[in-house]
Amino acid sequence: MTPGHIALWTILGVALVISVVTDVMRREILDVVTYPLMAVGLGVR
């Protein structure tokens, strides 16, 4: 894996944890976290 892939997976993993914790606590997923990271993931890919 290249350093870019490692960074991407780390960022996506952190975003997933934040989204899951938020969803469990408030029953909503933060779009502020989800949409920008989806765009970054698609851009890096």
Q: What is the pLDDT of residue 25?
A: 75
Q: What is the pLDDT of residue 29?
A: 63
Number of domains in the chain: 1
**Domain, as residue range, for 40:** 3-44
Q: What is the pLDDT of residue 21?
A: 79
3-state helix, strand, coil in the chain (%, to 5): 85, 0, 15
Say if CB 37 and CB 11 are below 8 A apart: yes
User: How do residues 1-45 score in pLDDT, each as one tens digit?
Assistant: 799 889 988 988 888 888 777 776 776 666 677 777 777 877 776
Q: What is the pTM of this model?
A: 0.56
Q: CB within 8 A of 23, min separation 6: which ones?
A: 29
3-class DSSP assignment, residue 36: helix
